[in-house]
């Protein structure tokens, strides 16, 4: 699977552009600019940008005549939106629009080979302008961040179950309960080891035949390259023989964390306490469900990659840190939320150290500031310390037992085994920025969450009472994006499901999207509650919500045939030997994985539970005849099979 994760990239980009323009239009319709002409100009600017996605089709319609360049086309779009805000007589917003257009003009000259990213950068700027307008029009709320103590248990339970069901659907229908990617194999390996309360596995007989790409042998100890966080979570599921359920369960926890943060950011945005409560109640489901429905998030929720866990730890650590700073928190709740904060932060670091570290930067700064201002009580500080020390210490001890040295990880061995695995940092060239900042691929792989809607909501949330959460989410997300912009690995392609290295930024984008769209839907709910069915006679009451929901549903449905079949086909082809052997109902057997007869790398198919010395089926790599001789001596009295061309599995004569 390589960028752009679809076999029809122009169509996917076009769908995202259409849906994003419609969503921005619904926000403007719900809260229009003063006077009619500025609204018409702003809409014209938004849809002019969206039309750029269809410039090849437009060129054919006009007989192949040359159309304006990307820079000129999008500058026309930006000019229309700038004039719209200059006509509102809000001088500050007009000046802001002019400055923003100047920056976009510079970006158009600097970026190369990134016209689609430039288009979505314009959308993101338009979202920021709409957020600034809503911020200016909404009275600024004062006081500390609100507590999340209001009960939404039923809502969160439904969100959790929906997320688990969606992840289970991905496991069953897209991945067919099989994995083939080397990262997932390594996580699976280590989870089985931890499930047996061991830090590493013993070296098996004929060890070369058991080789996995990211599983290393070091001084007689066999363990995964990856740090312990995600395998520790998977271990109980492995012990219960439902390891496939670990990712859907983590997806459910992540969705609930996003829902809690969405409610927190939406607090204080209504014109009245009743209106604010309505917006808060709607923000939770919007943030969580919209995050789940994006192709990248949905596919990863069924895979065994660790990025969903990093996203979940990010969401829960931000929510817990904000809750700790709430005034009047009881000692018991302070201790419990501190324990949650320390646990989430430590596990995020233990899952992916660099990702967890950059995402936690904003949380650390916020927590330190709260400590200095004495807004964090002693029980909360003790709980945070205990959670962090326990899980951080557990991870450190496991790594010490694996590598024989403190504060080293399996990554230290990677370069000596696989030279391409070394971490190399360099400034991205203008045509490489799009890999670290995936504005285009992210807008359709994360839809109905998008950077433009996330920025809109974040700017508007500055008028509420959750500015600390906005700070933590912004700093963490920007830190992660900046880091991966400098990482050379993955710039030209990513073997995964969407831009997964920066997948945790979906937490910030989803919560911002919820803040942007919840007031639109709340207006319809309020009108129906106040006027009954008579409200449906007024287009202004239901029009914005219909456009918003229509864009979300249309985008999700239209992107399904452009993304999921690609992931399914890739997975189906490369996992054929494993699925074939499973369908043959083999027992007490050895399947020889013969290189050059299979579509996948052989080290990704030699999947054996490391703590089971006598599994029902062994998958062994036959590098040469001596390997087979070794295996026949080590595992006598088994039936033998081997792979042949086109991934077939056939019996082998004794």
Residue 85 has pLDDT above 70, yes or no: yes
Q: How many residues does the chain have?
A: 654
Question: What span, in angstroms and rounded, lies between the C-alpha atoms of 91 and 411?
Answer: 53
Instruction: Between 387 and 599, name the one with better pLDDT.
Output: 387
Report how far residue 508's alpha carbon sits from residue 522's, in angstroms, rounded to the nearest whole number: 21
* Short-list 614, 638, 645, 651, CA closest to 205: 614
For 85, 290, 302, the CA distances from 351, given in Å and listed in that order, are 45, 25, 17
Residue 221: strand, helix, or coil: strand
Hey, what are 14's tokens?
A: 């076009």
Which pLDDT score is estimated for 561?
Answer: 95
The pLDDT tens digits for 144-153 are 566 655 679 9
- Min mean pLDDT across 57-71, 135-149, 323-337 is at 135-149
pLDDT score for 497: 85
- Sign of the Cα torsion 309, 352, 440, 266 reads positive
DSSP 8-state symbol, 68: P
> How far lies 481's CA from each of 21, 163, 359, in Å?
24, 26, 10
Confidence of residue 119 (pLDDT cuts 50, 70, 90): very high
**In the block, residue with structure tokens 């997320």:** 163
According to DSSP, the residues that pair with 641 across neighbouring strands are 591, 651
pLDDT class of 89 with cuts at 50, 70, 90: confident
- Cβ neighbours around 251 below 10 Å, total: 30
Torsional sign, CA 179, 182, 183, 189: positive
What is the pLDDT at residue 552?
Answer: 95
| pLDDT of res. 65 | 61
- How far is it, in rounded angstroms, from Cα 256 to Cα 156? 6
Residue 531: predicted pLDDT: 63
Q: Which residues contact 325 (CB under 8 A, 6 or more apart)?
A: 144, 145, 366, 370, 375, 376, 468
pLDDT (average), residues 370-376: 91
Q: Report strand pairing: 648-651 vs 639-644.
A: antiparallel
∠ CA 30-33-36, nearest 5°, is 100
What distance in Å separates the CA atoms of residue 526 and residue 524, rounded to the nearest whole number?
5
Q: What is the pLDDT of residue 182?
A: 92
Q: What one-character DSSP code corresponds to residue 437?
A: S
User: Alpha carbon of 300 to those of 68, 312, 509: distances in Å?
Assistant: 39, 12, 17
**Does 1 score more than 50 pLDDT?**
no
In tens, the pLDDT along 611-649 reads 998 999 999 999 999 999 999 999 998 999 999 988 889
Q: Report the interhelical angle of 378-403 vs 331-351 (nearest 10°).
A: 30
Per-residue confidence band for 271, with pLDDT thresholds at 50, 70 and 90: low
pLDDT at 143: 57
Residues 6+ apart with CB under 8 A from 103: none
Residue 421 or residue 234, greater confidence: 234
Burial of 256 (0-12, 13-18, 19+ CB in 10 A): buried
The beta-strand segments (E) located in 411-564 are none
Task: Give the CA dihedral 73, 78, 84, 86, nearest 10 degrees.
Answer: -130
- Contact predicate 473/507, CB 8 Å: yes
44 contact partners, CB below 8 Å, separation of at least 6: 80
Report the distance separating Cα 263 and Cα 474, nearest Å.
Answer: 17
Of the ranges 15-24, 112-121, 408-417, 487-496, the best mean pLDDT one: 15-24
Percent of the chain beyond pLDDT 90? Answer: 76
- CB atoms under 10 Å from CB of 596, counted, come to 7
Name the percent of the chain in helix, strand, coil, to the closest 5: 70, 5, 25
What would the mean pLDDT of 409-436 be, rounded to a whole number? 88
| 617: DSSP letter | E
Distance separating alpha carbons of residues 120 and 114, to the nearest angstrom: 10
pLDDT bracket for residue 417 (50, 70, 90): confident
User: Residues with Cβ < 8 Å from 220, sequence gap 6 or more?
Assistant: 202, 203
Q: Using one digit for the tens of pLDDT, what is the confidence trace for 482-505? A: 999 999 887 776 667 889 899 999
| Element holding 572 (H helix, E strand) | helix 539-574
Q: What pLDDT is recorded for position 277?
A: 86
Helix axes 273-293, 246-266, angle to 10 degrees: 150
Encoded tokens for 614: 């006598």
Q: CB under 8 Å to 153, separation ≥6 — which residues?
A: none
Q: How far apart are the first and last CA of the chain?
A: 38
Q: Calculate the average pLDDT of the chain.
A: 91
| Tens digit of each residue's pLDDT (9 = 90 or more) over 317-367 | 999 999 998 888 899 999 999 999 999 999 999 999 999 999 999 999 999
Cis peptide before 298 (omega within 30 of 0): no
Per-residue tokens: 633: 């001596």
Rg of the chain in Å (alpha carbons): 26
Q: Which has more pLDDT, 142 or 339? A: 339
Report DSSP state, residue 225: S
Is 265 a residue whose pLDDT tops 80? yes
- pLDDT at 17 > cutoff 80: yes
For residue 635, count other CB atoms closer than 10 A to its CB: 17
Residue 285 token pair: 């489901």
CA distance 294 to 290: 7
Average pLDDT for 81-91: 91
CB 324 within 8 A of CB 337: yes
- CA distances to 68, 334, 343, 388, 443 from 374, rounded to whole Å, are 58, 13, 22, 20, 41
pLDDT of residue 421: 80
Using a 10 angstrom Cβ sphere, with 0-12 exposed, 13-18 middle and 19 or more buried, the burial of residue 351 is buried
Give 530 or 651, the one with higher predicted confidence. 651
- State the CB neighbour count (10 A cutoff) for residue 177: 13
CA separation for the pair 197, 199 (Å, rounded) = 7
């Amino acid at each position: 699977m390589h960028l752009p994760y679809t076999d029809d990239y122009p169509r996917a980009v076009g769908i995202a552009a259409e849906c994003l323009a419609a969503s921005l239009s619904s926000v403007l319709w719900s809260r229009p600019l003063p006077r009619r002409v500025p609204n018409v100009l702003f809409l014209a600017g938004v849809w002019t940008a969206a039309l750029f996605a269809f410039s090849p089709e437009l060129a054919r319609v006009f007989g192949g005549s040359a159309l304006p360049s990307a820079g000129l086309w999008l500058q026309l779009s930006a000019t229309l939106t700038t004039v719209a805000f200059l006509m509102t007589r809000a001088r500050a917003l007009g000046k802001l629009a002019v400055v923003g257009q100047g920056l976009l003009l510079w970006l158009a000259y600097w970026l190369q080979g990134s016209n689609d990213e430039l288009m979505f950068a314009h959308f993101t700027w338009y979202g920021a302008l709409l957020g600034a307008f809503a911020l200016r029009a909404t009275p600024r709320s004062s006081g500390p961040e609100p507590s999340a103590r209001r009960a939404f248990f039923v809502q969160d339970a439904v969100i959790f179950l929906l997320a688990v069901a969606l992840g289970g659907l991905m496991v069953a229908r897209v991945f067919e309960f099989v994995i083939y990617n080397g990262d997932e194999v390594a996580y699976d390996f280590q989870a089985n080891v931890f499930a047996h309360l061991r830090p590493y596995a013993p070296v098996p007989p004929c060890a070369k035949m058991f080789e996995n790409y990211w599983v290393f042998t070091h001084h007689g100890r066999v363990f995964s390259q990856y740090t312990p966080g995600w395998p520790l979570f998977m271990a109980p599921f492995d012990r219960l023989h439902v390891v496939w359920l670990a990712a859907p369960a983590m997806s459910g926890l992540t969705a609930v964390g996003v829902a809690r943060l969405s409610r927190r950011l939406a607090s204080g945005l209504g014109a009245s306490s009743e209106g604010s409560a309505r917006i808060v109640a709607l923000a939770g489901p919007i943030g969580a469900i919209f995050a789940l429905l994006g192709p990248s998030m949905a596919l990863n929720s069924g895979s065994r990659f660790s990025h969903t866990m990093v996203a979940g730890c990010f969401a829960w650590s931000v929510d817990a840190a904000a809750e700790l700073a709430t005034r009047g928190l009881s000692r018991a709740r302070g201790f419990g939320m501190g324990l949650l904060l320390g646990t989430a932060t430590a596990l995020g670091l233990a899952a992916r150290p660099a990702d967890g570290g950059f995402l936690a930067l904003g949380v650390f700064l916020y927590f330190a500031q709260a400590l200095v201002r004495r807004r964090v009580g002693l029980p909360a500080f003790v709980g945070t310390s205990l959670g962090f020390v326990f899980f951080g210490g557990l991870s450190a001890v496991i790594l010490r037992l694996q590598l024989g040295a403190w504060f080293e990880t399996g990554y230290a061995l990677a370069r000596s085994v696989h030279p391409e695995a070394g971490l190399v940092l360099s400034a991205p060239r203008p045509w490489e920025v799009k890999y670290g900042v995936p504005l285009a691929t992210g807008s359709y792989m994360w839809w109905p969450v998008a950077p433009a809607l996330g920025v809109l909501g974040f700017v508007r949330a500055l008028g509420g009472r959750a500015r600390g959460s906005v700070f933590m989410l912004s700093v963490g997300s920007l830190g992660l994006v900046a880091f991966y912009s400098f990482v050379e690995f993955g710039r030209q392609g990513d073997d995964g499901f969407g831009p997964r290295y920066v997948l945790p930024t979906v937490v910030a984008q989803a919560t911002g999207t919820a803040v942007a769209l919840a007031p639109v839907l709340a207006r319809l709910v309020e009108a129906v509650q106040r006027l009954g069915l008579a409200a449906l006679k007024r287009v202004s009451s239901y029009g914005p919500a219909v456009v918003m929901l229509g864009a979300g549903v249309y985008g999700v449905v239209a992107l399904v045939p452009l993304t999921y079949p690609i992931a399914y086909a890739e997975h189906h082809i490369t996992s054929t030997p494993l699925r074939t052997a499973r369908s043959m109902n083999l027992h007490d057997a050895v399947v020889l994985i013969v290189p050059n007869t299979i579509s996948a790398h052989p080290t990704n198919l030699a999947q054996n539970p490391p703590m089971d010395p006598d599994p029902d089926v062994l998958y062994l790599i036959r590098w040469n005849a001596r390997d087979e001789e070794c295996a026949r001596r080590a595992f006598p009295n088994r039936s033998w099979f081997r792979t042949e061309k086109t991934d077939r599995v056939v019996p082998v004569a004794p």
